[in-house]
Structure formats: C-alpha cells, structure tokens
C-alpha cells in the first residue's frame, strides 16, 4: 500500500503542467514513469531528458530516492526524527523490507541505512560533478544537478539518465562509467550485507562475528555474476557492438554491460543492435538480480544460492541442503522455490500476452522487455514507447510486482505457519 501510494502521488504530480517540458503529459505516461521511478526500474515511454521539465526530473529523482529507501524505512525514520518510539508493527515492517534480521537492530539499521545512502551518493555526486564541469565544460549549477541525479539513480539501481541515449555518449569516459558502476554494485549488495560488512571490520571484539549465509552468498554471487556478465558480453559482442571501441574501452564497456543488467538499467551500448546471445545472457542476469534488502530487483542472489544448494544436496542424496558449514531450513528452500516459480510464471505469462498484442516485435525483444520490467532493471531494445497501451500497462504491473511481489511473497511465506492435526498418506509421484 505504501508503494501504491507513492506511485499515485508521483502520477498526480507528473500529470501537472509544471512537470512536463511542454503541455501536459498523458496520464499513462505519468503513471508509467512514476511506477518505473518508484520501483527503481528505468523503463520509459517518453524521453526523460526532453519530455520532463527540471521540476518533473526532480520529482523522478525524489521518487527514486524514496523507492530505494523503502516505505517502511521512511516511516521509521520519520518516527525517529519526531522522537517517537518504534512500535512492533513499524519494526516488523522495516524488518520485512530486509533492513535487519533482529527486531532489536531495526532502529540502528534504519539510521545506518540513511547515513550510508547519503555518504555513497555524496561520493558519486562529487566525482560526477567535477567530471562534468572540468571535462565537459558545464557550469557548476548544471554539473551539480546532473551529478546529483545520476548519483541517486545509480546507487538506487534505477537507471534513469538525463540524456536521450542514456549514457551511450560517455561510452569512452571511464571517469563517468566507473562511478556509476560503483554506485550500482554497492547499491545492489543490499543494506543488510553492507551493514554486516561494516560491523565485521569495525568490531572491537577480538573474535569477529561469523559471516551470515546471506552475506556469504551475496558477496560470492556478486563477484561471480560480475565476472560472468563481463565475459559473456565480451564474448558475444567483441566483434559486434564492442568493435567500435579500442581494446581498453572494449573491456570497460563489457564490464559496464555486465553490471547494468543486475537491476541498474544504464546502457552505454545500444541493445537494439545486440546479438541474440547477448540478450539471452542479459535476461539471465536481470532475472537473478542483486542482493536482498537493498535497491536491487530480480529473484535475488540468495534465492538462487539456496536453490543451487538444494540441488547439490539432492544430487548427493542428502536430506538437508548445506552451505558453508550451515544447514538450510527446508522452509527456506520451499520459499526460494515459490519465489522463483512465481517469477517465472509472471515473466513468461506477460511475454505471452504482449506477443499477442504486439506481433510486430520478436520474442527476443518482448522477453527482454518483460524480464527487464520484472527485474526492475530498465534495459530495453527500444520498443517500450512503441508497445500498445495495454502492453505498457502489463509492464507497469510487472514493475510493481518485481519490486514488491517477491519481497511480499517471501515475507508472507516466512511468517505463515499453519499447524494441521492430521497428515495425508504419503505418495511419491514420478519426477523427471
């Protein structure tokens, strides 16, 4: 309800004459943009650089920031600012957004989340603002505005840019792409993992806390996916989209293209001309996403790690999935299966529906679009604006489901315990 309210307010404001560059934006365009910004997606039906006024762009940036922090986190921050106590309901809400494993930690973690967000965004803002001013000759006002907008967009994994070609114009500027990549990676790790890492290395205890499975899975999975994404893009586009660059810039753009699908949505290459192999590899990266409890989308790295551990246990004939010297609760495995199955049904079902509405586009393009919407990524082959209105509405639902759905589903499954006083007879259906 919090996210729906945020989207509704954003839609109303973006529908006003002050938000549009000229005239007034169409209602569906305002709704689509508000949903995309609040859900940290980045898909657009109108050009962010030319369709919206500076006021409208500012509204988009605020929606991104609020959507990244999370509705319940903002509620807790407001309560703390007013000196009120955090009740059990607010603590449970913030905990459900992934801000902390223990209710007693929620107050500290909510504060730390805000501070950490401001610090990282400030670092990216300074790097970009100085680059825009001293290299591209922008005045300080424009440099500061663009630095701030892109810092917020990168750390929150939103992918919105103030240029019609996104960041393609900076494809050979490492001092623009690398700060954006830094924001994307850090934001995609998730606040719980970042704060656990901070606690681990700043602990005054002689014996540091043991890393949680969430942190281990997220750090390891992030490293693997960054390397895999870079290698896959380089292999499929070395003689394609990357051929226009010199050697170092080929690697830079392969690296950036390997990071962006993990829910960021910035593109320094044109995916409309990408090889089908690149699109499929990007689909996988977008579907997996980043870390839990942060600004990333997708089904999350930890979900995939739990499924892999369960598969490994089944292959080895073990009754319980294990990882790093820990057993994984069977309920967690079932939750991972449920979230993944729901995500697959949503993406494939939406792809099927949109193919019927827009047969002029290929299945590769439609699947790329729906996966990007569900994964709250924002990458596109350029077909978003050309889709029928009904298809755009499906993407709106997908963006909302991708941001809120897996989180709500996992939380509901984790908190729901039904005790039954009887059991049905057991039967083993054939598998495989």
Q: Mind listing the pLDDT tens digit for each residue in 322-370? A: 998 899 988 889 889 988 999 999 999 999 999 999 999 999 999 999 9
Of the pLDDT bands very low, low, confident and very high (cuts 50, 70, 90), residue 49 is very high
> Structure tokens of 5?
């309210």
Of the pLDDT bands very low, low, confident and very high (cuts 50, 70, 90), residue 80 is very low
Comparing 36-50, 122-136, 204-218, 271-285, the range with the smallest average pLDDT is 204-218
What integer is the mean pLDDT of 116-134?
A: 95
The CB-side HSE value for 363 (13 A sphere, CA atoms) comes to 4
Whole-number Å distance between alpha carbons of 46 and 178: 27
State CA 70 to chain mean position distance.
13
Res 422: pLDDT: 84
- Model confidence at 64: pLDDT above 90: yes
Of the pLDDT bands very low, low, confident and very high (cuts 50, 70, 90), residue 71 is low
- Model confidence at 138: pLDDT above 60: yes
Angle of helix 213-237 versus helix 276-288 axis, rounded to 10: 170
Share of the chain above pLDDT 90, in %: 63
Res 105: pLDDT: 57
Share of the chain above pLDDT 70, in %: 86
Res 231: pLDDT: 96
269-300 CB burial, b ≥16 within 10 A, e <16: bebeebeeebbebbbebbbbbbbbbbbbbbbb
Of the pLDDT bands very low, low, confident and very high (cuts 50, 70, 90), residue 321 is very high
Res 99: pLDDT: 44
- Model confidence at 91: pLDDT above 90: no
Cβ partners under 8 Å of residue 326, min gap 6: 213
Angle of helix 54-69 versus helix 2-14 axis, rounded to 10: 180
What integer is the mean pLDDT of 301-324?
A: 92
Whole-number Å distance between alpha carbons of 200 and 214: 14
- Model confidence at 313: pLDDT above 60: yes
Res 151: pLDDT: 96
The pLDDT tens digits for 156-212 are: 999 999 999 999 999 999 999 999 999 999 988 887 788 888 878 877 664 556 788
* Selected residue with higher pLDDT from 380 and 112: 380
Whole-number Å distance between alpha carbons of 159 and 372: 11
| Residue 401: how many other CB atoms lie within 10 Å | 21
Res 424: pLDDT: 85
DSSP state of 45: S
Res 142: pLDDT: 96
- Model confidence at 74: pLDDT above 90: no
Res 414: pLDDT: 57
Res 370: pLDDT: 97
Shortest CA distance to 91 belongs to which of 295, 162, 214, 102? 102
Res 260: pLDDT: 93
The pLDDT tens digits for 264-301 are: 889 999 999 999 999 999 999 999 998 877 778 899 99
Mean per-residue pLDDT over the chain, rounded: 87
- Model confidence at 227: pLDDT above 90: yes
Res 13: pLDDT: 97
Beta bridge partners of 322: 327
- Model confidence at 245: pLDDT above 80: yes
Res 81: pLDDT: 47
DSSP string, 221-263: HHHHHHHHHHHHHHHHHTTTGGGGS-HHHHHHHHHHHHHTTTT
The pLDDT tens digits for 384-414 are: 999 999 999 999 999 999 888 765 665 565 5
Query: Backbone phi, then psi, for 323, in 5-degree steps?
Result: -160, 130
Q: Where are the beta strands (DSSP E) in 282-423?
A: 322-323, 326-327
């Amino acid at each position: 309800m919090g996210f729906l309210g945020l989207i509704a307010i954003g839609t109303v404001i973006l529908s006003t004459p002050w938000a549009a560059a000229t005239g007034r934006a169409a209602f569906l365009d305002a709704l689509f943009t508000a949903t995309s910004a609040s859900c940290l997606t980045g898909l657009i039906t109108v050009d962010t650089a030319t369709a919206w006024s500076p006021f409208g762009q500012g509204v988009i940036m605020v929606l991104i920031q609020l959507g990244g922090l999370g509705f319940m986190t903002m509620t807790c921050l407001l309560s703390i600012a007013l000196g009120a106590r955090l009740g059990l309901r607010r603590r449970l809400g913030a905990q459900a957004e992934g801000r902390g494993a223990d209710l007693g930690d929620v107050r500290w973690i909510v504060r730390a989340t805000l501070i950490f967000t401001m610090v990282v965004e400030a670092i990216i803002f300074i790097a970009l603002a100085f680059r825009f001013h001293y290299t591209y000759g922008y005045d300080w006002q424009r440099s500061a505005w663009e630095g701030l907008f892109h810092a917020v967009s990168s750390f929150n994994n939103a992918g919105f840019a103030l240029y019609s070609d996104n960041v393609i114009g900076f494809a050979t500027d490492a001092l623009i792409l690398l700060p954006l990549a830094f924001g994307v990676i850090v934001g995609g790790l998730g606040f719980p993992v970042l704060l656990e890492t901070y606690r681990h290395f700043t602990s005054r205890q002689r014996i540091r806390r043991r890393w949680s499975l969430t942190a281990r899975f997220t750090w390891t999975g992030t490293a693997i996916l960054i390397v895999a994404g870079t290698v896959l893009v380089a292999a499929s586009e070395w003689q394609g989209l990357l051929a226009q660059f010199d050697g170092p810039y080929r690697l830079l753009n392969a690296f950036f293209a390997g990071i962006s699908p993990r829910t960021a949505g910035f593109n320094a290459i044109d995916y409309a001309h990408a090889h089908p192999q690149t699109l499929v590899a990007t689909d996988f990266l977008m579907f997996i996403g980043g870390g839990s409890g942060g600004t990333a989308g997708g089904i999350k790295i930890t979900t995939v790690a739990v499924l892999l551990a369960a598969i490994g246990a089944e292959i080895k004939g073990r009754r319980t999935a294990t990882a790093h010297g820990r057993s994984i609760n069977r309920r967690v495995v079932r939750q991972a299966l449920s979230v993944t199955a729901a995500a697959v049904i949503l993406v494939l079902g939406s792809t099927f529906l949109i193919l019927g509405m827009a047969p002029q586009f290929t299945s590769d393009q439609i699947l790329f679009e729906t996966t990007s919407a569900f994964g709250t990524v924002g990458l596109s082959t350029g077909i978003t604006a050309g889709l029928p209105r009904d298809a755009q509405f499906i993407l709106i639902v997908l963006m909302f489901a991708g941001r809120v759905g897996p989180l709500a589903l996992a939380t509901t499954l984790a908190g729901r315990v039904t005790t039954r006083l009887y059991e049905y007879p057991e039967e083993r259906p054939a598998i495989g």
